[in-house]
Amino acid sequence: MSNRLVNETSPYLLQHADNPVDWYPWGETALEKARREDKPIFLSIGYSACHWCHVMAHESFEDDQVAAILNEHFVSIKVDREERPDLDQIYMSAVQAMTGGGGWPMSIFLTPDGEPFYGGTYFPPTPRYGMPSFSQVLIALADAWQERREELVKGGRQMARALAEQAKVAPASASVALQADTLQAAFRDLGLQFDARYGGFGQAPKFPQPMVLEFLLRYHAVTGSEQALHMVTHTLDKMARRGMYDQIGGGFHRYSVDDRWLVPHFEKMLYDQSQLARVYLHAWQVTGNEFFRSIVEEILDYVVREMLDPAGGFYSTQDADSEGEEGKFFVWTPDEIREVLGDDADEFIAAYSVTRHGNFEGKNILEFVGDMEQRPALAEARRKLFEAREQRVHPGRDEKILTSWNGLMLAAFAEAARALDRDDYRTIAERNADFLLPELRQGNGRLLRTWKRHPERVLKGPSEGAGEAKLNGYLEDYSYLIEGLLELYQTTFEPRWFVAAQELAETMLERFADSEGTLYDTSDDHETLITRPRDLQDNATPSGNAMAATTLLKLAGFTNELRYADIAHQALAQVQSMMAQYPLGFGQWLQALAYALSKPREIAIVGDPDTAGTQALLNVVRDGYRPFQVVALGASGAQASAVPLLQDRGQVDGKAAAYVCRDFTCQAPVTTPPALEGLLGGN
């Protein structure tokens, strides 16, 4: 018999709908049951692409004896962390405080009031590795609830108070100045953590850290530091050559379990593709390295091929497992390669380090060890192997569409479209925005978090009623989508994208702001939890606050609205000391700080977009890597009024004109590319 998860839209929750555990989704029904029956809550949080979540589900949640213990003594709640980042952030903080570590699956026990008193991650079915079995944990906690309840409740209340204190931010004085020394201190610390041999930061397991790499590119742009650029290019080269990168199908896996990027954790996350596509794009703009450009296009082509819903939204994840084995879809034996490539196999086998004994459980994760000029020549071999691989059983795919992650991907496609002159990428970006705004923005302007296509409509395109959107949008949903829309505006210069971005920003400030200069992660009408979360640190994705600061600074340039810049500066001032001390956790903040300190340029081009004169000016501002500017374009007249940067500006002597402003000072308009280049100078 199915449990209460059968009516959910999350693929992760639906994976547990046939468990013998009497699962509830998070909600008042489950919480009221715990209060009424005076039972503790077992809260299990994970996500569909999580390998160890699948393992614990098979070992414990599908076991009738374990289920019997849970059903008798606990109210069991299952949560998809990607749908509910608020719950994940609150209770992961509790697990980390209790155990010194964290991860997924998250297993945490709560009082009926939602206060955490015991937690961990994966628990095995039998005692091993120094851990008790899951059944032993359950029985011990059930006994403790009966015999020592007051102690558990007291501990839960203390933890709840500590989490509430953790979410507070010390107000920054309005006089606190943003300091270039912060960027320098962060750079020095990153240099100490940099792996000079394999790239990246720290030891195994290694994560790609795209936000930090983006900061280093900006630091290089400002200072000319060759070391900063080397840290980026060396890391990007090593990651794209090794098993972290899918050499056959494109796209990056989540992280590497070793320090040389060889053996990945094989799931693929949409947010990794979006952020890595942009950092490879920017590295190509800085260096002209065609390998980096090819990686950008391979990532985005993979997303179009395998992660794009017919309605225009992007799916969330692909699993690590297929046929019950992690990585099975991605690995090869020499014989499998020879069967596909025939006489051409030897060159490929040598270039991709394929051996008889393999490098992963007797098979080979492909890594490119050949000369760089070989790679284009082996494209046909990769195509044949891709077609052969397509006949295998594919990993599962989580087809829910998240507003925030789609905002990141929208930004990647929009920027790549203009930088690479790819009209197909522009079309993908426009379709995505045309999907997100009607489907995930309500009539009152508020965003929803997630959309899932109805199963019976999977093979059909976009149409009313094709899917279900739900859950209040979070700060990251607003700030990431604003970023995507601003990038799309700067690619197409259609005013509606800018208008939507500014409207969302106003809603964000109205619904998420506090009196301390930063924003909460949840809106002011969100359900009441044990604390109102505010996570300032970047994780695998940017902090919602950091991205909000980033986009508000850009909006200030487009609108001349100093309120936006003031809010961003106050937030940056409050986390400035943390950026300097812990740069790996504040990469997006460091990007925003670099932008603020650069005194960015606001560039208005006025002219008919289809004329050669206008395009010549536009080509100047789009040439190379220019991270510290915003660009608006429009013809003289009513259309320009939607974007304040264009207002009261016209052509000069009938010619397209460019207006460049910086630090509240505007230069006289220019009409020729050399004159514009002279105003822009470097970055």
pLDDT band at residue 288 under the 50/70/90 scheme? very high
Structural contact between residues 22 and 371, judged by C-beta atoms closer than 8 angstroms:
no
pLDDT band at residue 197 under the 50/70/90 scheme? very high
* Helices marked H in 134-201: 134-147, 149-166, 180-193
Mean pLDDT of the region 88-95: 94
pLDDT attached to residue 175 = 59
pLDDT attached to residue 221 = 97
Mean pLDDT of the region 343-359: 96
pLDDT band at residue 402 under the 50/70/90 scheme? very high
Mean pLDDT of the region 67-90: 96
pLDDT attached to residue 455 = 76
Q: Give tens-digit pLDDT for 507-561.
A: 999 999 987 778 999 999 999 999 999 999 999 999 999 999 999 999 999 999 9
pLDDT attached to residue 113 = 94
Q: Give tens-digit pLDDT for 208-248.
A: 999 999 999 999 999 999 999 999 999 999 999 999 999 99
pLDDT attached to residue 167 = 76
* Residue whose pair of structure tokens reads 């002159």 in the numeric block: 421
pTM: 0.95
Alpha carbon distance 656, 633 (integer Å): 10
pLDDT attached to residue 681 = 82
Cα separations in angstroms, 325 against 51, 268, 356, 394: 10, 15, 20, 11
Mean pLDDT of the region 181-198: 97
pLDDT attached to residue 51 = 87
pLDDT attached to residue 169 = 73
Cα separations in angstroms, 640 against 11, 168, 490: 44, 42, 14
pLDDT band at residue 168 under the 50/70/90 scheme? confident
Please write down the long-range contacts of 612-616, taking CB distance under 8 Å and 24 or more positions apart: 613/655, 613/656, 613/671, 614/656, 616/656, 616/672, 616/673
Alpha carbon distance 666, 302 (integer Å): 43
pLDDT of 188 strictly over 70: yes
* Residue whose pair of structure tokens reads 């071999």 in the numeric block: 381
Alpha carbon distance 336, 363 (integer Å): 10
pLDDT of 200 strictly over 90: yes
Structural contact between residues 555 and 157, judged by C-beta atoms closer than 8 angstroms:
no
pLDDT attached to residue 101 = 86
Q: Give tens-digit pLDDT for 487-510.
A: 999 999 999 999 999 999 999 999
Q: Supply 223's token pair.
A: 């200072």
pLDDT of 464 strictly over 80: no
What's the whole-number average pLDDT of the chain?
Answer: 94
Mean pLDDT of the region 58-77: 96
pLDDT band at residue 640 under the 50/70/90 scheme? low
